[in-house]
Amino acid sequence: MDLMKEFHPIIDDAEDNSVVRCNMTSCEKCIGRSVSMCSALKDHEVKLLSDISMNISKRSKQVICAEGELAEYLYNVQSGCVRISKMLSDGRRQVIDFLFPGDYFGLVCNNGYNYSAETITDVNLCRMPRNAILEKIKEIPAFSKKILDITIHELLETQEQRLLLGRKSAKERLCTFLLTINARSSNGGHMKKNHIFLPMSRADIADYLGLTIETVSRQFTILAKDNIISLENSPLVRIIDIEELQLIASGG
């Protein structure tokens, strides 16, 4: 797990979890993000929001919030990787998404959270009270529009995923997954080109793609044997033939 630390060296070793009040400095870093909802706010409004927001640090494999729990907070991932999942009553799990820096969660829920969120790596989060956000929606139309845009974007992605689960083969699913992660997790820019950092387990990927661990593993092996990817340095995957990957992903 050396690579884990290498790519997520954010958290002070002194303590497992920390909660500190946000300051404008941390928010200003955050504002830079293109899809950030804060971009719809004036400086003094950001100040108001930052005053009631917290910077949260969590170690890997910890629960951030649980399905059904009263939804008090909205979160923004600042560093690391978070897993969002739902459970069927019989214990089967569906991983809804893997979140990377810039992604939100906790916005879309009916009273309680409708999914659980757990850290996969060490993670830094911005935690905002949902009440305050919902107030802002009523007050600031531009902010409201931004929230709607984020939700719409999430909806479009979920629809794509539905198509994947409904119609694609195991191989197509894995290729699509690799391309998606490649596009989304640039990991703050310090990833070598064509290298994908996969901090999640095979079980996580399987539950995301609607497959079993074994099938995922086999498909990885096949892709490596066909010289489309390389699995040499473990949590990293190197894409050798991205055109082929795209071809398979789109059903060719």
Partner DNA sequence: CGTGCATTTGACCACCTTCAATAAAGGTGG
Partner DNA sequence: CCACCTTTATTGAAGGTGGTCAAATGCACG
Write out the residues near DNA by the rule CB under 7 A.
Answer: 1-2, 169-171, 201-203, 210-218, 220-221, 231, 234
Q: How far is the CB of 145 from its own copies (least distance, A)?
A: 6
Question: How many CA atoms are closer than 13 Å to the CA of 8, on its beta-carbon side?
Answer: 27
* Triad 110, 67, 36: Cα angle to 5°: 65
156 belongs to the binding site for its own copies (CB under 8 A): yes
Residues 6+ apart with CB under 8 A from 194: 182, 238, 239, 240, 242
Q: How far is the CB of 169 from its own copies (least distance, A)?
A: 11
Q: Which one of its own copies, DNA, none interacts with residue 96, CB within 5 to 8 A by kind?
A: its own copies
Decide whether 166 or 189 has the Cβ nearer to DNA. Answer: 166
Residue 1 CA to residue 234 CA, distance in Å, equals: 9
62 belongs to the binding site for its own copies (CB under 8 A): no
The string of DSSP codes covering 78-120 is EES-EEEEEE-TTS-EEEEEEE-TT-EESSS-BSB-SSEEEES
152 belongs to the binding site for its own copies (CB under 8 A): yes
Residues found near its own copies in the complex (CB under 8 A): 86, 88-90, 92-94, 96, 108, 110, 114-115, 137-139, 141-142, 144-145, 147-148, 151-152, 154-156, 158-159, 161-163, 165-167, 207, 209-210, 250-252
